[in-house]
Amino acid sequence: MTRRSERGSGSVLVVALLGALVTLTAVLVPVLALLPTHQSVQGAADAAALAAADVASGLMPGVPCETAARAAELNGARLAACTVDGLIATVAVARTVGVFPLSSRARAGPAP
């Protein structure tokens, strides 16, 4: 009698496991898709800091933070903060992907 009462329990277990797998996939795919975007934001921060440092050192004409903002925009981000201390430029850039805000900071200038 015990064997008959367990009949079909494997189907319920398979449905539950498939549901858990679909839920896990639905959560992980968008989060994992943010990894390359975060690398892109880091690259935008690096480019903006280098551009600001180049202007601060006199290598290029212009205003350091305006040049940093332009470099960040060209790389798909926006400049959130910019400070120039002598020849050292420190910038923060941000980008929003869906509901996820991504940000990164970078610093550039001559070696000490």
Helix runs in the chain, H state only: 2-5, 9-56, 64-74
User: For 31-49, what is each residue's pLDDT tens digit?
Assistant: 888 889 999 999 999 999 9
pLDDT confidence of residue 102 = 94
Based on the structure, what is the number of domains in the chain? 1
User: For 52-105, what is each residue's pLDDT tens digit?
Assistant: 999 999 999 999 999 999 999 999 999 999 999 999 999 999 999 888 899 999
- Which residues make Cβ contacts (< 8 Å) with residue 96, sequence separation at least 6? 102
pTM: 0.74
Range of the domain at 55: 2-108
